[in-house]
Structure 1
Amino acid sequence: MFHDKVALVTGGSQGIGLAIMHALLREGVFVAAVSRDANNLKQALDSVDPQYRDHVTGIQADVRSEEEVHHAIQRVMSTYGRIDILINSAGISMREKQNLQDTDVKEWNRMIDINLTGTYLMCREVIPVMKSQDMGYVINILSTASFRSGSGNGLYVASKYGARALTETIIEENRRTGVRVTSISPGAVDSTIWNHKTEPITQEERSTMLKTDDIASIVVYLVNLPPRVHIDNITVTPWYR
């Protein structure tokens, strides 16, 4: 159904975003992968199967920057002329657990700017494009932390709760239009995000987590649903964890 459509994937150079990029390419979708890290972006593009190389474009941009987000959208539009799918997958987590009084405002700003503001800026730029097309699908990658708080994880939880509230607002603002909006809220996923933790995660722990391809397969399922079908949120958790 989405063959030859155009997707923009933030955080597309690693982790869940990278897995989604590969999955959409296999579906015949043209993909613009957005990442703020040029080296990671190059490696991601190099990992693409040669048969899909002409279906992917890499765009270096920081989702925290209004100007860079705007330029990224302009580049996608100048290259492809449309945007059918927006995947907001760019995100970070806390490097270590900290109670609120032990955190600093720089860490707060980093978390909110990427996990919440980045999603807001992308949606604000892309949804008008989709409305002009009378079709489009926005999928925001959230977390089970969007629904459940925990001690020592307050900054991350606040950013994800905020992203869920934003998603629910966008759903209501676009209900009964051609633009659908869904969030996916995974539990622990074995991705590069764990590489940045102060205390390393064991391979045994990682083996019980979801895989990035699991989330990518849900994205493929969603974008192939008929336009009459809408799902607000999909929560997915490891069965053996």
Structure 2
Amino acid sequence: MELNGTVAVVTGASSGIGLAAMRALLGKGAYVAALARDADRLSHAIESLPPELKRNVTGIPADVRNESAVRFAMDEAVSVYGKIDILLNAAGVSMREKQLVQEIDLAEWNRIMETNLTGTFLMCREALLRMSERNSGYIINILSTAAFQASGGDSIYSASKYGARALTEAMISANRHTGIRVTSISPGAVDTNIWSHKTKPVSAEKKATMLKAEHIADIVLFLISRPPSVHIENITVTPWNR
């Protein structure tokens, strides 16, 4: 599979799944508009790429929670590359520690919902507006196994991912007979820097049992290499024999 001439917008591109997917897409010949909240981290991530890949990236610092920033980023991607073929929503945050509903304050609720749900919505809306003009495109949302099974201590995170799952399924239904496909990937625990924000450190032994960001990037490539007549609604991926 080669993606020469394909244009992908990737959020959360400065680390984790977003960075791994950006590398994978570039390796197949795609152009990538790389979005991340932290401009310095985004610049460092792009500079870490091999020269032959780096020239096909445009870094666009953007906070997916901010409506005007999202609109500007998508306009910039189209201005540079002329179109958007793929949107990969990989930006996400998690709870710093397990909390019951009665222990959660509104600021923590908003922090997670604004990125995981509102950010996904804003990116999808702007992508659909542009993809609809060409009746062509592929949106892939990174969800979580928490979008299918909630636990008492992860209520906000699960709520945000359940909401993103509902948004994804609604877009699938609305675009069923168009040239725009929508799919979600729902991983179990993935070894990314999201664990460094936890109140209690996660052991190296536990991280060793997790999925790797590159595993999810491989699934992204698998999805976009399917024929246009093939649609996969969701892929759930978990570690095996752990």
| Map of 1:126 onto structure 2 | 127
| Map of 1:107 onto structure 2 | 108
Gap regions ≥5 residues in structure 1 = none
| Map of 1:50 onto structure 2 | 51
d(CA) in 1 for partners of 2:17, 2:152: 25
What secondary structure is seen at the aligned counterpart in 1 of 2:200? coil
Deviation at 1:240, TM superposition (A): 2.8
d(CA) in 2 for partners of 1:65, 1:141: 19
d(CA) in 1 for partners of 2:177, 2:28: 26
Q: Percent identity?
A: 57
Cα-to-partner distance string for 1:55-92 (whole Å, 9 max, x where unaligned): 10100010000000000011001101100000001000
Alpha-carbon RMSD across the aligned residues, in angstroms, is 0.7
- 1:214 and 2:215 aligned: yes
d(CA) in 2 for partners of 1:229, 1:2: 18
In the superposition, the TM-score normalised over structure 1's length comes to 0.99
Deviation at 1:166, TM superposition (A): 0.3
d(CA) in 2 for partners of 1:141, 1:50: 28
| Map of 2:138 onto structure 1 | 137
- Tell me whether 14-23 or 47-56 shows the greater mean CA deviation: 47-56
| Map of 1:175 onto structure 2 | 176
Gap regions ≥5 residues in structure 2 = none
- 1:17 and 2:13 aligned: no
Cα-to-partner distance string for 1:185-207 (whole Å, 9 max, x where unaligned): 00000111101111111111000
| Map of 1:157 onto structure 2 | 158
| Map of 1:64 onto structure 2 | 65
In the superposition, the TM-score normalised over structure 2's length comes to 0.98
What secondary structure is seen at the aligned counterpart in 2 of 1:75? helix
d(CA) in 2 for partners of 1:130, 1:107: 34
Q: How does 1:58-97 map to 2 (within 5 A)?
A: 58-97=59-98
What secondary structure is seen at the aligned counterpart in 2 of 1:82? coil
Output the amino acid matched with 1:105. L
Output the amino acid matched with 2:55. D
d(CA) in 2 for partners of 1:92, 1:145: 13
**Residues 208 and 240, structure 1, Cα contact 8 Å, conserved in 2:** no
d(CA) in 1 for partners of 2:62, 2:108: 20
Output the amino acid matched with 1:160. K
| Map of 1:26 onto structure 2 | 27
| Map of 1:39 onto structure 2 | 40
Deviation at 1:42, TM superposition (A): 1.1
Deviation at 1:3, TM superposition (A): 2.2
d(CA) in 1 for partners of 2:22, 2:186: 18
Q: How many residues align?
A: 241
Cα-to-partner distance string for 1:67-124 (whole Å, 9 max, x where unaligned): 0000001100110110000000100000000111111000101111000000100111
d(CA) in 2 for partners of 1:102, 1:70: 35
Deviation at 1:210, TM superposition (A): 0.3
| Map of 2:230 onto structure 1 | 229
Output the amino acid matched with 1:42. S
d(CA) in 2 for partners of 1:116, 1:224: 27
What secondary structure is seen at the aligned counterpart in 2 of 1:109? helix
Moved segments of 4+, more than 6 Å? none
d(CA) in 1 for partners of 2:241, 2:48: 30
What secondary structure is seen at the aligned counterpart in 2 of 1:7? strand
**Residues 11 and 18, structure 1, Cα contact 8 Å, conserved in 2:** yes
Deviation at 1:8, TM superposition (A): 0.2
Deviation at 1:53, TM superposition (A): 1.6
